[in-house]
Structure 1
Amino acid sequence: MRAAVYLILANLFWAGNFVVGQAAMKTMEPLQLTFWRWLLAAVPLLVLAQLVEKPDWRAVLRHWPVLLLLSTLGMSAYTLLLYSALQHTSALNASLVTAANPALIMVLAVLLLRDRPRPLSWAGIGLGLCGVLLVLTGGDLQRLLTFSINAGELLIVGAITVWGLYTIIARRLGIPAITSTAVQVAMAAAVLLPFAVATGAGLPATRSEGWSLAFIAVFPSLGSYLLWNLALKRTTAANAGNYLNLIAVFTAIITVTLGQPISVPQVVGGVLVISGVLLTSAGGKAPQRPRSSKSTSSPPSPSPAEFRPR
């Protein structure tokens, strides 16, 4: 029961990142929000990693090249693309397209790692793709023929593609989850610093911007990671992964509560995407060769727990 509460709250906070991020993008720039988000989250995450996982920091830093690559993909590029997308599309559309992440990751695993999903998983991927196309086109599939898809939707597709590559690489990294995330966040803040200075990405200028940044730094960046990892001590990764579908659901609820309209294509597309993810997870994939017992990374196949958004 406690694990379920942790997972529900974690996904509620991640949904809030879409809604609050969209509101912040009306007056802030993607680089500004991304830089300050990770800068404010870096030290608390490093402290959290030390308290919870007590890592061997020297051993962790020996992996700095791959950690830097992961930080560039998952923290910098993904977040910049996400917030840029929210300047052009709704939080609900962004969350619905992001919900297709597990299916995209499975496709990338097939292309890059020669993974072989079972037929049920392919059916789930197809169902999820139909849902994404419905959301992208707003129910007007002729838009695909003229390629008249909103820039925001294209940016969010780019974001989940980057996240897919991130997951493919990260799944074999033998570093505890909070420690790995904390180091990547700190690296992202350091790498983005000169760009933030060059572009004048200062602290929020208004109270609303300040509250938006505070929410994103505290709840999606710190709270969700802590709650997620606490839940994983009490339940399986597969079970936790299924809760990620709540992000789109919570985003829809928040959107409606705030009085924003929700369309039939969004509802139907969301149902198809989430159903496709559940079908993909249920299908699993064929067993692979066992890996060395020395590795402490995630299982060979990308589990739903690795699909968590930032």
Structure 2
Amino acid sequence: MKYKEFVFLLICNLLWAGNFIFGKFVIQEFSPLWITFLRWMIAVSILVPVAVVHDNLNYTKMRSILKESWPALTCMGISGGILFNVFTYSALQYTSPTNGSLVFSLTPAITMIFSYLIWKEKVSIMQMAGLSISFLGVVVLLTSGNILQVFQMDFNRGDLLMIGADLCWMIYAFSCKKSATVPPITAIALSSFIAIFIMIPFLMLQPLDFHQVTRTGINGVLYIGVFASVFAFILWNMSLRIVGASKANLTVNLIPVYTAAIAIFIGEQVSAAQLWGGAMVLTGLVLTSQKRKELICIRVNKQEVDLGEVTIKRPHCVN
């Protein structure tokens, strides 16, 4: 994994941690569908001008991209733009952020399994070890060090909805890979526009009560639309195309760690178990980010072979 993309993923998951925090408050004033719609309305209003400048997007180019990549972009809009958000915000109505984060941390395991089955992506022993350590760190973090407590948690309707969000996110990650020929910013802008267009008819079934909207709710929606959508998704898509779906999704285990860091920032106490759990997550991410070196063995019948400026003696392996 290249260091620049790894840093992008670190920032991206920090912004998404804020999405869980603000989402818990915003869901009290907006329905899941309205939060999702407003989120992408804000995002598209920023992404489209950026795409015009950065990617030289114009009407002719947009038509060409939609003609060639509309299946992948539509899948991105439905899975990541609509369903993932509706499942997530619906889950926060019934479950705690702790349970929701734990269930969401299953995404890397689910993605890695499907990457192996569908895309035939190789999974090394180092990656499996890193995944196990990261997941164990999440369990330690969310159970305050009492790992056996995970078997006593009361998984409710919200937890089941988060599993649905996991599956939607996995589909979104694979859809991003299928749209690799489209510039990242343009891909997010167009897929978000498609998501908005699909949601409009359903909004009529859930009229928004403007009287119950407060400044807290508005600020929450603005954060979700700008930081957790525009910046986070740009960083995510840029990184995903370099490191692949399996490695990128491993970093979502950082979301509970960031939650603990935010707790320190706002003055709440953080236990030793939370610190140890965060350290385990980071250790696991370091292991999974290591690219396995493969040896290329060259065997020849002669004792010595001249390859231009390099002379290789039999038998010899080079990195």
TM over 0.5: yes
1: CA distance between counterparts of 2:168 and 2:5?
29
Calculate the aligned-residue CA RMSD, in Å.
3.8
**What is the aligned residue count?**
281
2: CA distance between counterparts of 1:28 and 1:192?
15
The aligned counterpart of 1:58 is 63
TM-score of the pair, normalised by structure 2: 0.71
Higher percent of residues as strand: 2
User: Is the CA contact (8 Å cut-off) linking 2:176 and 2:237 kept in structure 1?
Assistant: no
TM-score of the pair, normalised by structure 1: 0.73
User: Is the CA contact (8 Å cut-off) linking 1:103 and 1:124 kept in structure 2?
Assistant: no
The aligned counterpart of 2:316 is none
Residue deviations 1:242-265 (CA, integer Å, cap 9, x gap): 987664433222234445565666
Residue deviations 1:206-251 (CA, integer Å, cap 9, x gap): 222112112222222224456x38997xxx955x969876644332
The correspondence for 2:215, drawn from 204, 207, 214, is 207
Structure 1 pair 179–230 and aligned structure 2 pair: CA distance change class (3 A)? closer
What's the offset of the Cα at 1:123?
Answer: 1.7
Structure 1 pair 7–254 and aligned structure 2 pair: CA distance change class (3 A)? same
Structure 1 pair 244–275 and aligned structure 2 pair: CA distance change class (3 A)? same
Q: Which amino acid aligns with 2:64?
A: A
User: Is the CA contact (8 Å cut-off) linking 2:101 and 2:256 kept in structure 1?
Assistant: yes
User: Is the CA contact (8 Å cut-off) linking 1:137 and 1:149 kept in structure 2?
Assistant: no
Q: Which has the higher contact order (CA 8 A, sep 6+)?
A: 1
User: Is the CA contact (8 Å cut-off) linking 1:121 and 1:279 kept in structure 2?
Assistant: yes
The aligned counterpart of 2:229 is 221
1: CA distance between counterparts of 2:173 and 2:55?
21
2: CA distance between counterparts of 1:199 and 1:2?
42
Structure 1 pair 48–260 and aligned structure 2 pair: CA distance change class (3 A)? same
Matches within 5 A, 1:134-213: 139=146, 141=148, 144=151, 148-173=154-179, 174-201=181-208, 205-213=213-221
The aligned counterpart of 2:84 is 78
User: Is the CA contact (8 Å cut-off) linking 2:84 and 2:166 kept in structure 1?
Assistant: yes
Which secondary structure state, in structure 2, belongs to the residue aligned with residue 26 of structure 1? Answer: coil
User: Is the CA contact (8 Å cut-off) linking 1:97 and 1:156 kept in structure 2?
Assistant: yes
What's the offset of the Cα at 1:273?
Answer: 3.9
What's the offset of the Cα at 1:134?
Answer: 5.1
Which secondary structure state, in structure 2, belongs to the residue aligned with residue 282 of structure 1? Answer: coil
User: Is the CA contact (8 Å cut-off) linking 2:139 and 2:147 kept in structure 1?
Assistant: no
Which secondary structure state, in structure 2, belongs to the residue aligned with residue 16 of structure 1? Answer: helix
The aligned counterpart of 2:257 is 249
The correspondence for 2:21, drawn from 3, 19, 25, is 19
Matches within 5 A, 1:207-286: 207-225=215-233, 228=235, 237=242, 247-258=255-266, 267-282=275-290
User: Is the CA contact (8 Å cut-off) linking 2:184 and 2:238 kept in structure 1?
Assistant: no
User: Is the CA contact (8 Å cut-off) linking 1:85 and 1:155 kept in structure 2?
Assistant: yes
User: Is the CA contact (8 Å cut-off) linking 2:34 and 2:208 kept in structure 1?
Assistant: yes
Percent of aligned positions that are identical: 31
Question: More displaced, 178-187 or 156-165?
Answer: 156-165
Structure 1 pair 165–223 and aligned structure 2 pair: CA distance change class (3 A)? closer
The aligned counterpart of 2:304 is none
Structure 1 pair 151–219 and aligned structure 2 pair: CA distance change class (3 A)? same
* Structure 1 residues not aligned, in runs of 5+: 288-310
2: CA distance between counterparts of 1:151 and 1:192?
24
What's the offset of the Cα at 1:135?
Answer: 6.0
